[in-house]
Amino acid sequence: MGIEKPAIAVFDAKPYDRDYIAHASGADRLDWRFQQFRLDNKTVLAADGAQVVCAFVNDVLNREVLERLAGSGVRLVALRCGDLTMSIWRPPRNWASP
């Protein structure tokens, strides 16, 4: 019995995203779960069982989505974007992590 690979749910994944990620160094050590749809309040359940979510800048990462991700065991949200300056996120002042 082998060690279970960490699962990463990749939302709004295009074919070129899949190709690029699949050829990255160490990609075979992870369980990639590519979703063609965007992450939002209605699709957040597709991340169940994943430890990491990789979201695109057009995905919804509001409080409800983040709380549901944390409640399902997601411990890291990685953001894919074309401009690094777009990836800065600060939680609201009243944010209390679970």
Is 2 among the domain residues? no
Domain that holds residue 46: 7-87
CATH of the domain at 76: 3.40.50.720
Query: How does pLDDT run across 10-33, given as a tens digit for each residue?
Result: 999 999 989 989 899 999 999 999
Q: What is the pTM of this model?
A: 0.82
The number of helices, as runs of H, and strands, as runs of E, in the chain is: 2, 4
pLDDT band at 6; cut points 50, 70, 90: very high
Residue owning tokens 């949200």? 77
| Whether 7 contacts 50, CB under 8 Å | yes
Contacts of 95 (CB under 8 A, 6+ apart): 63
In the structure encoding, which two tokens stand for residue 70, read together?
């944390």
pLDDT band at 97; cut points 50, 70, 90: low
Is 66 among the domain residues? yes
Q: How many domains does the chain have?
A: 1
Is 16 among the domain residues? yes
